[in-house]
Structure 1
C-alpha cells in the first residue's frame, strides 16, 4: 500500500520513526481525512447551485441534508481508523480503544438518523414553499406529519442503538409495559397536552396564522405555533400567550379568521319632527347599500324602522361587507355611515340626540323680571305661578 511504502521510506531516512511507524500511519490517516473533508466541501459548493436550478427537488434536498452528516462521518471514520492503528500497534492497548467498534457503530446510527431528520426538514420547507406540487399545502398538516415522522426516526434509532449495545429490545418493551401505568399517572398532564395537540392536528379548529378567541377564557390573538405540549398565541398587544393543548379540549373556540364576511349592524335615530320623512329616507339608505361596491348583496341586507325611542325614531342598518380584513372593514363601515348622514340631510332631516322640552303654562311669570315668557320658552331664573288655575290638558 502507499501508506506502508511511505512509512518504510520515512523509517529508512529518519531514525526517529524507527519502531514508531504507527505514528506515521496515524498522521497519514488524519491527513487523508482532512483531504476528503475539503474535497466533500468543494463538491457540495459546486453541486448545490446546479441542483437548485433544476426541478429535481429531491436531489437538492438529499444533497443539503447529506452535507453535514457526511462531513462528520468522514472525521468519525478517520478518528476510528487512527484509534484502531494505535490499538493494534501498542503493546498494551488502553481500555478506551476496546470500544472502537461500538463507538463507530453508534456514531453511524446517529449520523444516519441525523441525515433523515435533516431530509425531513428539507421536505417540510419545500412543501411549505409549494415546490412539491401545484399549490402550497396547509402548514399545520405539514408540521404534524413532519413531527410524527421525526419522532418515528428518533425512536427507531434509539432502539437500534440499544440493540447495538447488547440491550434486548424485548426487555425494554416489557419494562415499558410494566411501568407504563406509573408513568402515565405521574405525567397525566403531559399526556393530556400531547393528546390535546393530536386532536388539534386531526380536527384542525385553527391553524398557524389564524386569529382565535374563546368566549370561555380570556384568550384572543393570532396563533404563532402549535406544539405537542402547548400553543403560542400572540395577543393584540403583542404579548405571547402560552396555552396548554389540553385546555382546547374543554373550551369553545371561535375562529374569526375563517369568517366569510364582516357584519355592519347599527341603529340610527331620527327626530320625531322628521317622522314624515322616514318613509323616504329608509329606501334611499337601502338603495345606497345595494349599490355600494364593498357590500355583499347576496347576504342579508335590511334597513327597517325598529324602535320608538325616548328621543328618536330608530332605524336599523344590517348588512355584510365583502372583505374580512379588519382595516378595510373599518373603512367600508365609515363610508356607509357618512353616506347615510348625507342621505338624511338631503331629505331635510336630522339625527336625533337626547333633548328635554319645557312646556310653560300661560299666566306664569319669571320671578324678578315681571315679564311673561313667550309661548314654549322659559326665561332664565325661577318660574312662579301667578294664577290659581292651570290650563286643562
Structure 2
C-alpha cells in the first residue's frame, strides 16, 4: 500500500494537506488500528478457548504480535514514503528494501512462534492424550527454527540483490576453514545430536557419571552444552562432546530401589536367630511396599566379632527417593520389633577382659621368689 492509494481511499486531494499533516494522520490511524486489532485478537482468543482443539489458539497466538507489528511496519513505511518525497527522494529504494525485508522478517517470526507453540502443545499431558517426549520435541523444534532462520536469511539476501548461489559457494569453500577453526564447537554440536537421537537421558532426569564428577537433574539440552542442576542447586554446564566419551548412569529410569542391610544379634541369642530370620522374611513378603516378584533374600551369613549377622536383600516398588526412605525406615523398625518380640537384642561391638585371680598371682610370686633363693644358695 502507498500513500497515493490511501489518499484515493479516504478522498484526499494531492494539494489539500501538507506532508507533516499527512504523517500525523498516518501515525494516528496506525495507533487506532493497532488498538482495535489488539482488542480483536483478545476477544477471538477468549472465544477459541471454549473450543476443544488447541491448535486454533496456537495459530492465533503466533499471529498476534507479528500482525500488530505489520500494522506498524505499513504505517512507518507510508510515513517514510511521504517524508522521502519531500526531504530525500533518493531514499526511495532504501525504504522499499526495508519494507520487503520487514515483511519477510514478520513471516519468519510468525512461523517460528507457531513452531514453538506447537512444541508446547505436543509435550503437554493436559493437551495431548499421548504427549511427545520433551527431548525429541525440543530437538525437532530447534531444527525447524534453525532451518526457517537460514531460509529467511537467504531470501532476504536475494531480495537485497545478492546472489544466493555465490553465498552458498562461499559457504562451501569457507566451511572447511570454519570446520578446522571450530572443531570443538562442531564436536559439541554432533554430541548434542547424538544425545537427541540416542536419548540416554531427557530433561528432568537424574543423571550421574562414574567417570566424572557429574550428578544432578538435567534442566536443558542445548546444541553446544547441557545444563545440569546439582543437588546443592548449583548449575553445571557440560559440553555435549563429553557424553560421547564417558559412561552415564540414569537413576531416573530404574524400575525399583534396593534395600540391602546387614543386622547383627548377640551370641547369647543364638537360639532365636532361625525364627527371627523366618519372621523377617514373612514380614517382607507381606509388606505392601515390597515387590515380592523381585529377588528377596533373608539369610544368616556371618559369625561377626561380637554378633551373629544376617542380611536383608529386597526391592521396593517405589523409585521415589523420599518415599523409598520412608519404606526403608518402616522395614527396619519392623525388623527391630521382631527381634525384640523374640526376647533377643541387636548386638553392638563388645570386648571381654579376663583378669587372673589374686591367689594365683600370689602363688606365682612365691614360686618365683623360692626359685631365686635356690639359685642364690646354689651359687654360694
* Same fold, judged at TM 0.5 (above): yes
CA RMSD of aligned residues (A): 2.2
1:78-119 C-alpha deviation (Å, 9 max, x unpaired): 22123223444x3x7343333121111111011100011111
* Structure 2 residue 363 is matched with structure 1 residue 386: yes
1:242 paired to 2:237: yes
- Cα 1:317–1:44, aligned 2, differ >3 Å: closer, same or farther? same
Tell me, in whole angstroms, the C-alpha distance in 2 between the residues paired with 1:142 and 1:190.
23
2:336 is aligned with 1:341: yes
Structure 1 position 38 matched with structure 2 position 42: no
Contact persistence 1:303–1:317 (CA under 8 A):
yes
CA distance in 2 between partners of 1:246 and 1:263 (Å)? 33
Could you say if the C-alpha distance between residues 9 and 207 of structure 1 is closer, same or farther in structure 2, counting changes exceeding 3 Å?
Answer: closer
Structure 1 position 8, deviation (Å): 4.2
Q: Which residue of 2 aligns with 1:3?
A: 7
Equivalent residue number for residue 149 of structure 1: 144
Q: CA deviation at 1:131?
A: 5.8
* CA distance, structure 2, for counterparts of residue 2 and residue 106 of structure 1: 22
Q: Do residues 124 (structure 1) and 119 (structure 2) align? A: yes
Aligned to 1:255: 250
What is the aligned counterpart of 2:183 among 184, 188, 197? 188
Classify the secondary structure of the residue corresponding to 1:220.
strand
Look up the match of 2:68.
71
How much does 1:384 deviate? Answer: 4.3
What CA distance in whole angstroms lies between the structure 2 residues aligned with 1:35 and 1:346? 85
CA distance in 2, matches of 1:294, 1:305: 23
Give the 3-state SS of the residue equivalent to 2:273 in structure 1. Answer: helix
- CA distance in 2 between counterparts of 1:8 and 1:109 reads 33
Number of aligned pairs? 361
**Which of these residues, 103, 124, 136, is aligned with residue 98 of structure 2?**
103
Correspondence list, 1:299-318, <5 A: 299-318=294-313
**C-alpha distance in 1, partners of 2:29/2:271?**
100
The answer (yes or no) to whether the contact 1:3–1:25 under 8 Å persists in 2 is: no
| SS of equivalent to 1:265 | strand
CA distance in 2 between partners of 1:296 and 1:213 (Å): 26
CA distance in 2, matches of 1:54, 1:104: 37
1:387 alignment partner, SS class: helix
In the alignment, is the contact (CA less than 8 A) between 2:84 and 2:91 conserved in 1? no
Q: Which runs of 5+ in 2 are unaligned?
A: 368-380
**Within the alignment, does 1:353 sit opposite 2:348 as a pair?**
yes
Q: How far off is 1:385 after superposition?
A: 5.5
Confirm or deny: 8 A CA contact 2:207 2:216 kept in the other structure.
Answer: yes
TM-score, length basis structure 2: 0.89
| Relative contact order, higher structure (CA 8 A, sep 6+) | 2
Separation of aligned partners in 1, 2:251 and 2:278: 32
When residues 384 and 354 of structure 1 are mapped into structure 2, their CA distance, relative to the original with a 3 A threshold, is farther
1:315-370 deviation per Cα after TM superposition (whole angstroms, max 9, x unaligned): 11000111111111111111111111111122222222221112345xx21xxxxx
Structure 1 residues 156-207: Cα deviation after superposition (integer angstroms, max 9, x where no partner): 1011111111111111111111111111111111111111111111111111
**Residues 1:356 and 1:64: Cα distance change in structure 2 (over 3 Å):** same
**Normalised by the size of structure 1, how large is the TM-score?**
0.86
Give 1:237 deviation, angstroms.
1.0
Matches of 1:101 and 1:2, distance apart in 2 = 17
d(CA) in 2 for partners of 1:385 and 1:287? Answer: 58
Whether contact under 8 Å (1:7, 1:24) holds in the other structure is no
Q: Give the C-alpha shift of residue 216 in structure 1.
A: 0.8
Pairing 1:52–2:49 present: yes
CA-to-aligned-CA distance 1:241-273 (integer Å, 9 cap, x gap):
111111111111111111111100011112222
2:268 to 270, 273, 278: 273
Q: Using the alignment, how far apart are the partners of 2:362 and 2:189 within structure 1? A: 82
Counterparts of 2:342 and 2:126, CA distance in 1: 59
Q: Distance in 2 between matches of 1:299 and 1:129?
A: 34
Q: For 1:2 and 1:100, how far apart are their aligned partners in 2?
A: 18
Q: Structure 1 unaligned runs (5+)?
A: 12-16, 366-371, 373-382
Superposition pairs for residues 359-370 of structure 1, below 5 Å? 359-361=354-356, 364-365=357-358
Equivalent pair of 1:3/1:28 in contact (CA under 8 Å): no
